[in-house]
Amino acid sequence: MKRAVLGGALALVLAVGLYAGLSRMHATWQGVDEAVVERYAAAAGRPARPPLLDPGQGDLLLFLFLIAGTAGGFVAGYFFRALFPPKGGPGAASR
């Protein structure tokens, strides 16, 4: 538990530091799909088309991401704990 708290605190400090550093840089952080793939495709006369299914915009999308992220986290946790039971737990003997 103590290690988990320390790990979480370290990750938080790193994330905040990283964010602070990156946000001060004068970069666009454009993805390579735009910066490379779509640039060369457009130059060759094959610009990207809009996706067949538009994922939508706005707070509704954010809400769906939140719900899906929460559910996905639980499902991933289920698989993880099935495969890597806690040390000393019931499944640990069969490791």
Largest CA distance in the chain: 61
Question: In the block, which residue shows the tokens 């088309």?
Answer: 49
Q: Does 66 bind another protein (CB under 8 A)?
A: yes
Q: Does 89 bind another protein (CB under 8 A)?
A: no
**Which of 53, 59, 88, 90 lies at the binding interface for another protein (CB under 8 A)?**
53
18 touches 10 (CB < 8 A): no
11 touches 18 (CB < 8 A): no
The residue (of 7 and 47) whose beta carbon lies closer to another protein is 47
The residue (of 12 and 62) whose beta carbon lies closer to another protein is 62
How many residues at the interface with another protein, by CB under 8 A?
A: 51
